[in-house]
Amino acid sequence: MVLGYARVSVESQNLDRQLDQLKQSGCERIFQEKATGTKKDRPELDKLLDHIRPGDVIIVCELTRLSRSTKDLFQLVDQIEKKGANIKSLREAWMDTTTPHGKLMFTVFAGISQFERDLISQRTREGLSSARARGRKGGRPGKPKTAIEMALKLYDSKDYSITEITKMTGVSKTSLYRFINARVKLVQLSTHGF
């Protein structure tokens, strides 16, 4: 079965152009939605992915209608291929996994994208290692000791909620709980004689 997917970003936009192109391309069923591409929640795309059967071909007018990012595109294509289906873009002629050339091109682009991610990761690790060698630590600067001590005193008083304590001291909930748990563990270790 030939399935189509059409999407526009806002309610006021019109799907007609995409629907016409998908119908002309032989789509037997078209899933359409009006949702921004940055949203992970796209119910019609989810329905399309659930509907796919081996041998199906999914057609989109252009890849920007399908995916939010390159990484998202590769994940979607992988999902489609695992179900035994193919994908084709009308605008990006290289994106056509129904042909050996299209599969090769997609594999090359996927490889380049993975290579780029690996290089970024490697450079990040090298930069952190270099900074550590110079005595610098990564991450966010810690809260002043006085703010942490104040947060713990307020917590111990039992007069304030966690939300109130975080607002007054600027210590995040996560940090506050981490310090509370560390203190509890320290007390447990000292009472057990470790």
Tokens of 139: 């991450």
| Residue closest to 3 by CA, chosen among 28, 25, 38 | 28
pLDDT tens sequence across 35-74 = 765 666 788 999 999 999 999 999 999 888 888 777 788 8
Catalytic site residues? Answer: 9
**23: confidence class by pLDDT, cuts 50, 70, 90:** very high
CB atoms within 10 A of CB 167: 11
Superfamily of domain 2-110: Resolvase, N-terminal catalytic domain (3.40.50.1390)
Q: What pLDDT is attached to residue 35?
A: 76
Which residue type occupies 103?
A: K
Task: Round to the nearest angstrom and report the end-to-end CA distance of the chain.
Answer: 68
Contact 85, 56 (CB under 8 A): yes
Query: Can you give the pTM of this predicted structure?
Result: 0.57
Q: How far apart are CA 24 and CA 28, in angstroms?
A: 10
CB atoms within 10 A of CB 95: 20
Q: What pLDDT is attached to residue 57?
A: 95
Average pLDDT over every residue of 12-25:
89
Tokens of 37: 């591409």
Q: What pLDDT is attached to residue 187?
A: 72
3 SS3 class: strand
Average pLDDT over every residue of 184-188:
76
Q: What pLDDT is attached to residue 183?
A: 82
CB atoms within 10 A of CB 66: 24
* Rama region for 10: left / alpha / beta (φ>0; ψ in -120 to 50; rest): beta
Domain residue ranges of the chain, discontinuous segments joined by +:
2-110, 145-191
